[in-house]
Amino acid sequence: MKKDPDFVHPLIHLGQKAEFRLGAVGPDQFVVGDTPQIAFAGRSNVGKSSLQNALLGRHGLVRTSRTPGRTREINFFEVPDKFWFVDLPGFGYARGGSQASGQFADLVGKYLSQEKHPDIVIYVLDAEVPESEVDGTCLGRILEADVPCMVVMNKADRLDQSRRIQHPRMVIDRFELTEPPLLLSARTGHNLDKLRDRLMARIQGGKLE
Ligand SMILES: Nc1nc2c(ncn2[C@@H]2O[C@H](COP(=O)(O)OP(=O)(O)OP(=O)(O)O)[C@@H](O)[C@H]2O)c(=O)[nH]1
Ligand SMILES: [Mg+2]
């Protein structure tokens, strides 16, 4: 079926109401309450912040940077009464793969291991780098924990056709995923409506696929 060129996804409509609320530097500042929290986790520089802007159609809402490690605090963005986007600092920056597990003792680890939140973790991989050691540690931990997690592979625009097939397969095998990771691009918009559909279903009380 041909896509309607005037179609604007409902998540983009909601995204126009999104506002930055706070940058938490300690667990006492974490947002609590019943509104769903969608957290974006992954290595530094994989495009977590860019992806949130693109999903909401709000370029410039979440700060992005070419310099890895730019996001240091946990930033909470709210669409009132609907959902929160939670932008997490990237794993692995200036710590190296071998120490990545240490990061779970810090702020991000404390956020991810809360009893109630987040409701979903979107774990963002760099589609060009399916075998990073840091992802092995950090995604491995999240998958072991009792938090719904969806794995996506950003920067798909950088892959040729053969790696578009190979790299998701490598990730499925490595992490024993039951769902194939969604290959997408915050830059070109590739597959973003699929992720928006899944997030909307979740926000509206449905189950994460
Ligand atoms: N080619 C390409 N580049 C992208 C894409 N998404 C993000 N980038 C670029 O990747 C760089 C890092 O993007 P950010 O969104 O700041 O990455 P981040 O994961 O939030 O980084 P930290 O905050 O350091 O953890 C920027 O230069 C972006 O323009 C994409 O889909 N394709
Ligand atoms: Mg960021």
pLDDT digits (tens, 9 = 90+) for 81-104: 999 999 998 988 654 444 444 555
Considering every ligand atom, which ligand is closest to the CA of 55?
1
Q: Which domains does the chain have, with CATH numbers?
A: 10-203 (3.40.50.300)
Percent of the chain with pLDDT over 90: 71
Judge whether residue 139 has pLDDT over 50: yes
Percent of the chain with pLDDT over 70: 89
Cα-to-centroid distance, 158 and ligand 2 (Å): 19
Residue 38's DSSP bridge partners are 85, 120
Q: Which of 121, 120, 122, 125 lies closest to 185 in space, CA to CA?
A: 125
The confidence score (pLDDT) of residue 116 equals 87
Structure tokens given for 90: 């990237």
Mutate to test the pocket of ligand 1, among 40, 44, 45, 91 (most ligand atoms within 8 A of CB): 45
pTM over 0.85: yes
The confidence score (pLDDT) of residue 79 equals 96
Cα-to-centroid distance, 88 and ligand 2 (Å): 7
List, chain by chain if needed, residues with CB within 6 Å of any ligand 1 atom.
44-50, 64-66, 68-71, 89-90, 154-155, 157-158, 185-187
In the structure, what pLDDT confidence band is assigned to residue 204 with cuts at 50, 70 and 90? confident
- The C-alpha torsion from 150 through 70 and 60 to 47, rounded to 10°, is -30
Average pLDDT over all residues of the chain: 89
Q: Write the CA distances from 45 to 88, 95, 124, integer angstroms.
A: 12, 14, 10
Judge whether residue 208 has pLDDT over 70: no
Q: Which of 173, 175, 176, 116 lies closest to 147 in space, CA to CA?
A: 116
Cα-to-centroid distance, 1 and ligand 1 (Å): 31
The confidence score (pLDDT) of residue 205 equals 75
User: From the alpha carbon of 71, which atom of ligand 1 is closest?
Assistant: 23
Q: What is the tens place of the pLDDT at every residue in 140-158? A: 999 998 789 999 999 999 9
CA separation for the pair 103, 111 (Å, rounded): 11
In the structure, what pLDDT confidence band is assigned to residue 1 with cuts at 50, 70 and 90? low
The confidence score (pLDDT) of residue 70 equals 59
Q: What is the tens place of the pLDDT at every residue in 13-44? A: 999 999 999 999 999 999 999 999 999 999 99
The confidence score (pLDDT) of residue 117 equals 84
The confidence score (pLDDT) of residue 97 equals 41
Nearest CA to ligand 1 atom 24: 69
Judge whether residue 68 has pLDDT over 90: no
Q: Which of 127, 128, 148, 139 lies closest to 198 in space, CA to CA?
A: 148
